[in-house]
A and B are shown apart, each in its own frame.
Chain A
Amino acid sequence: MASEQELDAFLRGVEKRAFKRSLYHVRNQESALDIVQDSMMKLAEHYGHKPAAELPMLFQRILTNSTLDWFRRQKTQNALFTRMGDFESNQDGGDFDALESLLLDRDPNQNDNPQNQADRAQTLRVIEEEIQELPARQREAFLMRYWEDMDVAETASTMGCSQGSVKTHCFRAVAALSKALRARGIFL
């Protein structure tokens, strides 16, 4: 059973990332905060007795479900139906073995001069915009795989779809982001 200190440390470590993930989905700061708060409450009250090692997966699943619940509550908005459709699982799960290999180490921020910082901030702004433009399932799979460092099986379990679908979503997300960023003059 996770102690209160362990739970506190875990939530402290994931809260900002969870907020940004929710924000990319719902595009509304207040709603993203509500989703994260709701997820924290559910984790602490219903799964606080679980071992600390199980908390990350549980929290990711709760956060995903809370985000879906938020979309379900937005029934009056036309945009909802497009996004909800995006959340539906598709069955075209092809194999993309390139995603099976280990993630490369992330590039450290090597240059700290103001010009580079400004360039990096501009790049981040564009990346965030393009991530928000992704279909929801692709965005979810991409963020879990590459930002949360979850493997294909964990991502599939959390998203409630097959591992093949996760690979498909990630492949399409990477392709779409790469194309969109190149079109805006950003080469990573």
Chain B
Amino acid sequence: MNQFGSRIASHLDDALQGVPRDVAERLRAARVQALAGRRMTEAAHAPAVVQQGGSAALQGGFGFWGWAAAVLPLLALTLGLLGIGNFQEQLRAIEIADVDAELLTGDLPTSAYTDPGFAEYLKVDLKN
């Protein structure tokens, strides 16, 4: 039985020689396309590997100075922004305090500033 099967297979091997040229060419093209697909798959996976490598380096022996060099500039930037914000807040408070002081120490009563007629008088006076 094995001998019979092997003889059949021997004849089938002959069939490989008779594959038409256009079929052989399409098979070759399919092989080339498959290899190109493999290259694309490998290229798509490459950035992930690089990324993993980067995180591995961070987790590795980065050292105290490396850590300090990474964190201190961020700390300085944060403190600087907080200082600038605080300084501007103080300036604004001083300006408001000055206006309040002018209002309270002036000859006009405070209610005059809410009177529509007085506001109109000021506009006309400024135009003239």
Q: Which of B1-35 contact A (CB under 8 A)?
A: 1-16, 18-19, 23-24, 26-28, 30-31, 33-35
On chain A, the number of residues with a Cβ less than 8 Å from chain B's Cβ atoms is 48
Given A15-B30, A107-B10; A142-B5 close (CB under 8 Å): yes
Q: Which of A12, A102, A120, A121 contacts B31 (CB 8 A)?
A: A12
**CB-CB nearest in chain B for A100:** B2
The verdict on A36 contacting B30 (CB below 8 Å), with A99-B2, A177-B8 known, is yes
Q: Kindly state the separation between the CA atoms of A61 and B39 in the bound complex, as whole angstroms.
A: 22
Contacts known (A16-B19, A45-B41, A103-B2); A124 close to B14, Cβ less than 8 A? yes
Considering residues A99, A102, A146, which has the most beta carbons from chain B within 10 angstroms of its beta carbon?
A146
What's the interface size class on B, roughly? Answer: 20 to 34
Interface centre among A40, A171, A174 (most CB of B within 10 A): A40
Docked-complex contact B34 and A41, CB < 8 angstroms: yes
Given A15-B30, A16-B16; A44-B35 close (CB under 8 Å): yes
Interface of B toward A, CB cutoff 8 Å: 1-16, 18-19, 23-24, 26-28, 30-31, 33-35, 37-42
Residues of A bordering B, CB below 8 Å: 4, 7-8, 11-12, 15-17, 19-20, 29, 33, 36-37, 40-41, 43-45, 48, 98-99, 101-107, 109, 120-121, 123-124, 127-128, 131, 142-143, 145-147, 170-171, 174, 177-178, 188
